[in-house]
Structure 1
Amino acid sequence: MEKYVIGLDIGTTSAKAVLFRKNGLVVGESESHYPVFHPHPSWAEQDPIVIEKAAIKAIRSVIKNANADKSQVTAVGLSTAMHSLICVDNNNQPLSPSIIWADGRSVDQADRLRLQTDIYLKTGTPIHPMSPLCKLVWMKENNYEPYKNASKFVSIKEFLLLSWFGEAVVDYSVASATGLFNIHTFDWDKEVLLVAGIKREQLSKPVAPTTMCQGLSKELASEMGLETNTPFVLGGSDGPLANLGIGAIAPGDVALTVGTSGAIRQMSAKPKTDELQEIFCYAVTEDRWIMGGPTNNGGIVFQWLRDVLGEKEVALVLQQGGNAYDLLTKLASDVTPGSNGLLFLPFLNGERAPYWDANARGSLIGLTLSHKKEHIIRAGLEGVVYSLYSVGEALERLAGQPVNLFASGGFARSPLWLQMVADIFGHPVQVPESHQSSAWGAAWFALLAVGEASSLEGIKESIPMKQTYEPNGESHKVYKELYETYRELYMALKPHFTTLANFQRKH
């Protein structure tokens, strides 16, 4: 009987379970969605119980839909979005919502902490409202009731492991993304814990990504459709796992991922940080670190364009059973590269790398009477790639020039967007058959843990590749010229972004 492995990817908007063969071919996928709540301006929260139910449903559904037997599942590897924070009580029940990476309530705390450059140099986590460190300082300074009563502070992955196995463990990359973990000593940093106002015993034990948890209750195993002794392997956070799952693990291998947000990353054999604080550096294994930078504004920009510009057309397409994003992509593809001189700064949700500015705001520059809906859509998509390119410039300074460029995530389904990446970067872009690279990276760690894979590098032989997008020379020239203006616009508009952001918070 053939054996399979599951990659469970807990993302910002959904839990995805992917059933893989050991050669990386996808047998089946299942996705269960959940909402993000915004109880106050700039706050972003989720219900951890709802996410837990979605994860269980995704696992059950992928096994059922693939007509697989529970005995065929070798292991489950875990991937989660970074920077979530939940306060839990002595019984591991949530006292607070899951406060996610997009939450911006701790802007003032981040502005102060950023001046303490030694925190970043030790932890590799840029000082920004996304990080649990800044969230914890906000909680402390605002007498947040769940913070005062918490027995532990955990991420969404740790919450699931506590709920399912009663084990308080956290993999290195999720721990690294808290801003509390020293990437040189592989332990919680005493001085940073003092800043956050918490104790070591309120955090989980940092462990290697191949660490296994076993012993599902009969009821939970039945609900998932798994055997009670099925190993759950910790894996990592979605960023480094996307690199692993796409094969970008050697020096010069650069991975771009765009889901709700986006990122560009490269693996390194040693940690590298500097006082400019432009990129992150997170531990993954005891001899590998991931360097790069995230953008707050990836697929969420496309979603905004759909909702604002395509309301009528989208409603009609949906009535006819079509895909709204395909419609918008078709409109954008009829516009020449450069969108007739229209530039879109895609900072709809503030921005992380390379600026780490929660006050940044989206802007359309260069509008004329000749510009139509399709120009704005294309400029929005181009703006997301310009943003990734600006992060790539900062990454190149510390990690060196890219040799191979790989793309994954939801945007890897869009030929137009992938061609934009090739044209703006001026570099061929390799795309795998499956866009679920984080899930495959998690699954590979699971295979390593149970002895079904022999090395991290071996994954390169088990990644079915789909195609390569070659850059268009003329388009690259256009984008290179416009990017120079794009890069200067942020600095020119930054003072106005702060004024507008303060106005929005007051009103």
Structure 2
Amino acid sequence: MYLGLDLGTSGLKALIVDENGAAVATAHAQYDVSQPHPNWSEQDPNEWVIACLKVFTELDNNHGAAFQNIRAISMSGHMHGAVVVDTSGKPLRPCILWNDMRSEAEAKQLDADPNFRKISGNIVFPGFTAPKLMWMQKHEPDLYDRIHKVILPKDFLLHWLTKRYVTDMSDAAGSSWLDVGARDWSETLLNASGMRMDQMPDLIEGSQIAGIIDPTIAHECGFNQDVKVIAGGADNAVAACGVGAAQEGQGFVSLGTSGVLLAAKNGYHPAPETAVHTFCHAVPERWYQMAVMLSATNSLNWLANTLNTTPAQLSKLCAGPISGPSKITFLPYLTGERTPHNDADIGGAFIGLKSNTTPADLCQSVMEGVSFALRDCLEALKSTGTELHEILAIGGGSKSEFWIETLATILNLRLALPDKGDFGAALGAARLAMIGDGADVETTLVPPAIAKHVSPNKKLQSEYEAAYQRFKKLYPLIKEAS
């Protein structure tokens, strides 16, 4: 048996698979995000350990035979987070998360250094790790001076399990410290942001063994003593492993907390000027390009909270086939935006509200606004030479048939909905555990069974295209008015 862990922004998913990669058991634990100040987003790393213990206990209690036969564990984790620990491995402060925008000035400072785009292959975004450490140096110098290691979120769990400081290429690629083409730490980039090489974790591929589970942890949690811990990777790279997007031309769109459009690449072809990310894949000698918009299902969560309801109840207001675009336009820039704008300051907006506007109208406009922002992402990917003809759709938002048909029509792409898509990243982590234990990469990273395909609505496509062109014109107007 093999165990995949998916450390998400709001919860931890666990999935046990057998030697054929078939799902055997699942478990889930939730935790909160703290926002102590505007544009801040933090999490206590110790909450991740508590969540791990909870899912381990649940799996052991409900699926003991499978749990006690686990041979290897691997994990996926949300990217860019800054976990700073002292010499004992204890966090010095809460993790600064991927969607934290406090280090905008530091990001601009680093991005102005041409070495960063040249070596890392990416714009330095405020959400990346390096500018967060520069912010700490300026605003929390006492804590900064005590930093022993800077690790990424999933690697805090990896250290807890193995007592080793290790990360993988795909997660390190989002730090702004990695030479993404060479797949190695860059001393030039580290020095430019005030960091040292000895503060970095060891660097290996995501399918390689990071260590053997610590005997004390194994005893406390009910594992065998010789369980391998495989490095794993960044959430989107591992989700790509879960849906079999590992070769050129394969990709997926994710309607999660953020929105992601990812395309696998067989070579390294960065285009930082497009605000498209170019990162290492979780398996050797492969990369991927990724365009990101920051508030996908989070936009729906915000609206539901504002209307004192739940996202599920709100989604029920938009059911059935699409019938044409809303007369209200939503700009989903609730926490700034990455692709294609690279703008931490821009805010969201509704355009076209009327006295008779209903919650259903607002819900539809939010789903469309997120889809329009993902179309911006697609256009940015196309500008780099990437071509996609059919992609998988994953993430919580993919459960909405209305949203998926809207998205397919706006992107003008056929979307494939995989079975058991809820565990895409957890499945990818389990697959990396299998590969780390000796399974073949090509025969393990296969596409899932497809539950259904959703094609663009050709009759309505021109109407949605016109609505998208109106959407495109609004960003500079909102920017000027902000």
The TM-score bracket by the shorter chain reads over 0.9
Instruction: Write the distance in 1 (CA, Å) between the matches of 2:262 and 2:194.
Output: 31
Question: In the aligned structure 1, how far is the partner of 2:60 from the partner of 2:402?
Answer: 33
Higher mean alpha-carbon deviation, 472-481 vs 196-205, is at 472-481
Which of 380, 396, 415 aligns to 2:366? It is 380
> How far 1:343 moved relative to its partner?
0.7
Aligned residue in 2 for 1:111 = 108
The alpha-carbon deviation at position 144 of structure 1 amounts to 3.1
Unaligned stretches of 5+ in structure 2? none
Query: What is the alpha-carbon root mean square deviation over aligned residues?
Result: 1.9
Q: 1:80-121: per-residue Cα shift (whole Å, max 9, x none)?
A: 010011111111111121111011111111223332343123
Instruction: Letter of the 2:428 partner, please give it.
Output: G
- Measured after TM superposition, the shift of residue 295 of structure 1 is 1.5
Do 1:74 and 1:231's aligned partners in 2 also have CA atoms closer than 8 Å? yes
1:355-394 paired onto structure 2 within 5 Å: 355-394=341-380
Matched, 1:445 2:445: no
Offset of 1:339 from its aligned partner?
4.5
**Is 1:296 equivalent to 2:283 in the alignment?**
no
Alignment of 1:153-172 (within 5 A): 153-172=150-169
CA distance in 1, matches of 2:400, 2:250: 22
Distance 2:19 2:371 in 1: 33
Say which of 203, 208, 211 aligns to 2:205: 208
The answer to whether the Cα contact below 8 Å between 1:339 and 1:376 also exists between their aligned partners in 2 is no
State the match for 1:244 in structure 2: 241
SS at match of 2:374: helix
1:401-430 Cα shifts (integer Å, max 9, x gaps): 212211112122222222122111122110
- What does the per-residue CA deviation read over 1:2-55, in whole Å, with 9 as the maximum and x for residues that have no partner? xx2211000111111012234443222211111111122211111011111112
By how many angstroms is 1:233 displaced? 0.9
Q: Which runs of 5+ in 1 are unaligned?
A: 315-323, 498-507
Q: Does 2:105 align with 1:145?
A: no
2: CA distance between counterparts of 1:326 and 1:41?
Answer: 27
- Distance in 2 (alpha carbons) for counterparts of 1:244 and 1:371: 42
Partner residue in 2 for 1:129? 126
Q: Distance in 1 between matches of 2:181 and 2:264?
A: 16
Q: CA deviation at 1:197?
A: 0.5
Q: 1:223 and 1:487, CA in 2 relative to 1: closer, same or farther beyond 3 A?
A: farther
TM, length-normalised to structure 1? 0.90
Counterparts of 1:125 and 1:408, CA distance in 2: 25
Q: State how far apart, in whole Å, the 1-side matches of 2:443 and 2:411 are.
A: 26
How far residue 257 of structure 1 moved from its aligned partner, in angstroms, is 1.0
1:178 aligns with 2:175: yes
Partner of 2:102, secondary structure, is coil
Percent of aligned positions with the same letter in both sequences? 27
Distance 1:126 1:337 in 2: 39
Query: Is the CA contact (8 Å cut-off) linking 2:79 and 2:235 kept in structure 1?
Result: yes
Aligned to 1:491: 476
- Deviations along 1:169-227, one digit per CA (max 9) or x if unpaired, are 11001111101000122211122111211110000111011222444344422443321
Q: Structure 1 105/339 Cα, relative in aligned 2: closer, same or farther at 3 Å?
A: same
> What is the deviation of 1:475?
2.6
Match of 1:408 among 394, 397, 404: 394
Measured in 1, the distance between the counterparts of 2:372 and 2:455 equals: 18
Q: Distance in 1 between matches of 2:336 and 2:27?
A: 31
Are the equivalent residues in 1 in contact too, given 2:42–2:100 (CA < 8 A)? yes
Distance 1:223 1:346 in 2: 45
Structure 1 residues 341 and 143: alpha-carbon distance in aligned structure 2, compared to 1, 3 A threshold: same
CA contact (8 A) 1:82 1:238 kept: yes
Query: What residue in structure 2 maps to residue 396 of structure 1?
Result: 382
In structure 2, how many angstroms separate the alpha carbons of the residues matched to 1:191 and 1:55? 36
Mean CA deviation greater in 126-135 or 225-234 = 225-234
Match of 1:91, SS state, is: coil
SS of residue matched to 1:302: helix
Which of 445, 460, 467 is matched with 2:452 structurally? 467
Question: What secondary structure, in the 3-state scheme, does the structure 1 residue paired with 2:445 have?
Answer: helix
Deviates more, 1:268-277 or 1:130-139: 268-277
Q: Distance in 1 between matches of 2:142 and 2:99?
A: 21
In the alignment, the residues of structure 2 paired with residue 215 and residue 287 of structure 1 have an alpha-carbon distance, to the nearest angstrom, of 25
Pair 1:481–1:397, CA change in 2 (3 A): same
Structure 1 CA distance for aligned equivalents of residues 82 and 360 of structure 2: 39
1:86-105 equivalences under 5 Å are 86-105=83-102
Counterpart of 2:35 in structure 1: which amino acid?
Answer: H
Q: Which residue of 2 aligns with 1:267?
A: 264
Structure 1 CA distance for aligned equivalents of residues 23 and 252 of structure 2: 20
Q: 1:302 is aligned with what amino acid?
A: L
Cα shift at 1:472: 1.1
1:341 lines up with 2:327 in the alignment: yes
Look up the equivalent residue of 1:86 and give its one-letter code.
V
Separation in 1, partners of 2:358, 2:164: 55
Q: SS of 1:332's equivalent?
A: coil
In the alignment, the residues of structure 1 paired with residue 179 and residue 346 of structure 2 have an alpha-carbon distance, to the nearest angstrom, of: 29
Stretch moving more, 467-476 or 194-203: 467-476
SS at match of 1:402: coil
What is the CA-CA distance between 1:74 and the residue it aligns to? 2.6
CA 1:475/1:248 → structure 2, altered by over 3 Å: closer, same or farther?
farther
C-alpha separation between the residues in 1 aligned to 2:412 and 2:443?
A: 27
Match of 2:35 in 1: 38
In the alignment, the residues of structure 1 paired with residue 324 and residue 117 of structure 2 have an alpha-carbon distance, to the nearest angstrom, of 37
Native 8 Å contact 1:419 1:471 kept in 2: yes
Cα separation, 1, equivalents of 2:67 and 2:316: 42
Q: Secondary structure of 2:65's partner?
A: coil
What is the deviation of 1:479? 1.2
Other structure's SS at 2:71 match: strand
How many residues are treated as equivalent by the alignment? Answer: 480
